[in-house]
Amino acid sequence: MSSAVKLFFVFVLSFAFFVASSLAKTFLCYLQYQDGEAVTLWVNKVGPYNNPQETYNYYSLPFCRPKGKPGHKWGGLGEVLGGNELIDSQIEIKFKRDVEKTTICEIELEATKVKQFKDAIDNSYWFEFFMDDLPLWGFVGEALPDRTHDNRHVLLTHKNLVINYNENQIIHVNLTQENAQPLEEGRVLEMTYSVKWVPTNISFARRFDVYLDYPFFEHQIHWFSVFNSFMMVIFLTGLVSMILMRTLRNDYAKYAREDDDLESLERDVNEESGWKLVHGDVFRPTQSLALLSAVVGTGAQLSTLVLLVIILAIVGMLYIGRGAIVTTFIVCYAFTSFIAGYVSGGMYSRHGGKSWIKSMILTASLFPFLCFGIGLILNTVAIFYGSLAAIPFGTMVVVFVIWAFISFPLALLGTVVGRNWSGAPNNPCRVKTIPRPIPEKKWYLTPSIISLMGGLLPFGSIFIEMYFVFTSFWNYKVYYVYGFMLLVFVILIIVTVCVTIVGTYFLLNAENYHWQWTSFFSAASTALYVFVYSVYYYYVKTKMSGFFQTSFYFGYTLMFCLGLGILCGKFPSPALRFHTHNSHPRFLISLLISGAVGYLGSNLFVRRIYRNIKCD
């Protein structure tokens, strides 16, 4: 890897840590109040509890509306994409000033309002408030089982706020609701609130600990799953090493045998079979080279991006800020686009590609446009439902500008640099003019079966962690154990490399030299099993319902699986010159930095075994 590329990696890492530190300072800034200073209670959204993405404006229900034009609070790109809309409730709260029961407003229950509230209660609507960046949650009302259907719905009309403070900082806010009133047409309900300030010794830096579910995430099953995955890695790497070393040693001995006896030599030639026979075709450029180069480059970028965001989440505690992870992901994605172009351009050049414009555009736009297509469908659904999940037009313009003026140019620049610095092809064996016919083999040695089976063990290594990730995203838990995620990510890389190498060896030994796409799909099939698991999780572990939530659940999952498949499936070691004799350190460094798995492992393996045989 050239010094210029190393400098760029240093720049990306430095910029990413700058972003993380800035976000951390934003969310951990020491918000201080003077005695009697106004404290704003922000209302955010309401929605069915069982459908996390189906959220609406808080005032879509006939609650007490603020007077005039209330203030709004915008926390950044990630917050808007997360479907947040903070509005000043105009409820009077002052620092360290208790408030006895005070009226907010009176609601006259008309038929339409009663129906709205009853529908909300039947669907277990919850709401979200914020005070000093601390979230508060509660249910709109209750449906009492011991009453008749007509008067069993009650609205909780009193909100009691208990605010813990340490000197001049707010540490925790607790919301309880009381005074349940039946929803009857013609009644007038008095909406009230009270505030009590209580001192505490908890420091400001620890105030988010109350939102972290330590028993759930640090349960023994979580530790055991990581330990079992680690033991599987040791067993699998040892097994792969033993099998390949023994098998290849026998193959090398067979292929290197020189017998002066003509009859014996003729017999050996007739019996000869396996991976050596395809040495004249194994480095033949694959079909759809531009597409393969694009997905390989995108996989390298996503691998870098995932590893970078995980490290930043560990260092910067990004989980405490609304939309901080999303903002970091988008910004870092834009600035790591150079990696996708560099890797894709180098690979395309080394394989003799000619359609450079096609290659550059595919690399720069393939993954963003796939996500854009899915997002457009989901956004249309959200607009139809009038949900806060609908992305505003201005936000879409901002995202497009980031891609068009940062991500796209960097990807093009990376492609040009990768093309010019990649060097000439240096394959261990020459490619023959006429392609060798591929003999028919047993069904389990076909590329489709090898690809399908290749994702089983990698999925098994991340199966338990997927449960915790899914539960965090879909069941209102804050995921904070990014150290676990980092370990699982490294385990996934190692397992995928081992499995892909074995699959490639079996394919070549069956005299099938179409290993490039097979190695890609063998690793990428992990995403297929994750998607199948997501279907199981949806029907068994959640109570989601309705077209809206189902669309968002499987739409988000599809985007996640696309990214996971691209990440696991490919990495262009030719572009980073892993075919040199000193490739082991570079392999390990790039493995850890870029998460290069399937294609990297297979490419390195193929070059190693064919370098050590006699090619005619």
The confidence band for 494, taking pLDDT boundaries of 50, 70 and 90, is: confident
| b/e map 55-83, b = 16+ CB within 10 Å | bbebbbbbbbebeeeeeebebbbbbbbbb
State the Cα–Cα distance between residues 506 and 486, nearest whole angstrom: 31
Q: Judge whether residue 267 has pLDDT over 80.
A: no
Q: What value does the mean pLDDT take over residues 11-37? A: 64
Q: Judge whether residue 509 has pLDDT over 80.
A: yes
Least confident piece of the model among 166-175, 231-240, 485-494, 520-529: 231-240
* DSSP E strands, 117-168: 125-131, 134-139, 141-143, 153-166
State the Cα–Cα distance between residues 82 and 65, nearest whole angstrom: 24
The confidence band for 576, taking pLDDT boundaries of 50, 70 and 90, is: very low
Q: Judge whether residue 270 has pLDDT over 50.
A: no
Instruction: Look up residue 283 and give its two tokens.
Output: 């480095």
Phi and psi, residue 102, nearest 5°: -130, 140
Instruction: Establish how many alpha carbons lie within 13 A of residue 203's alpha carbon, considering only the half-sphere containing its beta carbon.
Output: 3
The confidence band for 2, taking pLDDT boundaries of 50, 70 and 90, is: low
Instruction: Look up residue 175 and give its two tokens.
Output: 């919301």
The confidence band for 575, taking pLDDT boundaries of 50, 70 and 90, is: very low
Q: What local confidence, expressed as pLDDT, does residue 614 receive?
A: 67
Phi and psi, residue 193, nearest 5°: -150, 160
Higher-confidence residue of 502 and 383: namely 383
Question: What's the pLDDT tens digit per position in 426-473?
Answer: 777 888 888 888 888 888 888 899 989 988 888 988 888 899 989 998
Q: Judge whether residue 23 has pLDDT over 60.
A: no
Q: What value does the mean pLDDT take over residues 232-250? A: 75
Q: What local confidence, expressed as pLDDT, does residue 15 receive?
A: 58
User: What DSSP letter does each residue of 401-436 carry, written as one string?
Assistant: HHIIIIIHHHHHHHHHHHHHHS-S---SSPPPSSPP
Q: Judge whether residue 597 has pLDDT over 90.
A: no
Q: What is the mean pLDDT of the chain?
A: 83
Q: What local confidence, expressed as pLDDT, does residue 581 receive?
A: 35
Q: What local confidence, expressed as pLDDT, does residue 232 receive?
A: 79
Cβ contact 293:352 at 8 Å? no
Q: Judge whether residue 335 has pLDDT over 90.
A: yes
Cβ contact 460:492 at 8 Å? no
Higher-confidence residue of 4 and 110: namely 110
Q: What local confidence, expressed as pLDDT, does residue 53 receive?
A: 93
Instruction: Look up residue 412 and give its two tokens.
Output: 């093009």
Q: What value does the mean pLDDT take over residues 59-82? A: 87
The confidence band for 376, taking pLDDT boundaries of 50, 70 and 90, is: very high
The confidence band for 579, taking pLDDT boundaries of 50, 70 and 90, is: very low
This prediction has a pTM of 0.86
Q: What local confidence, expressed as pLDDT, does residue 399 receive?
A: 93
State the Cα–Cα distance between residues 475 and 50, nearest whole angstrom: 8
Task: Give the CA-trace dihedral at 477, 481, 486, 487, to 10 degrees.
Answer: -110
Cβ contact 313:588 at 8 Å? no
Instruction: Identify the three-state secondary structure at position 36.
Output: coil
For residue 356, with 0-12 CB atoms within 10 Å meaning exposed, 13-18 middle and 19 or more buried, which class applies?
middle
Q: What local confidence, expressed as pLDDT, does residue 591 receive?
A: 32
Q: What local confidence, expressed as pLDDT, does residue 464 receive?
A: 87
Q: What value does the mean pLDDT take over residues 215-243? A: 80
User: What DSSP letter does each residue of 193-259 carry, written as one string?
Assistant: EEEEEEE----GGGTTGGG--HHHHT-HHHHHHHHHHHHHHHHHHHHHHHHHHHHHHHHHHHHT---
The confidence band for 216, taking pLDDT boundaries of 50, 70 and 90, is: confident
Q: What local confidence, expressed as pLDDT, does residue 321 receive?
A: 73
Using DSSP bridges, classify how beta strands 153-166 and 134-139 pair: parallel, antiparallel or unpaired: unpaired
Higher-confidence residue of 25 and 571: namely 25
The confidence band for 269, taking pLDDT boundaries of 50, 70 and 90, is: very low
Closest CA to 20 of 402, 337, 319, 411: 319
The confidence band for 352, taking pLDDT boundaries of 50, 70 and 90, is: confident
Please state, for a pLDDT cut of 70, what percent of the chain lies above it: 84
Q: What local confidence, expressed as pLDDT, does residue 593 receive?
A: 32
- Let me know how many helices (H) and strands (E) the chain has, helices first: 19, 11
Q: What local confidence, expressed as pLDDT, does residue 8 receive?
A: 55
Q: What local confidence, expressed as pLDDT, does residue 38 receive?
A: 94
Q: What local confidence, expressed as pLDDT, does residue 257 receive?
A: 63
Q: Judge whether residue 596 has pLDDT over 70.
A: no
Cβ contact 493:595 at 8 Å? yes
Q: What value does the mean pLDDT take over residues 239-263? A: 64
Higher-confidence residue of 388 and 443: namely 388
Enumerate residues 6+ apart whose C-beta is below 8 A from 316.
Answer: 20, 21, 23, 24
Question: What's the pLDDT tens digit per position in 137-164?
Answer: 999 999 887 766 666 899 999 999 999 9
Please state, for a pLDDT cut of 90, what percent of the chain lies above it: 39
Instruction: Identify the three-state secondary structure at position 83.
Output: coil
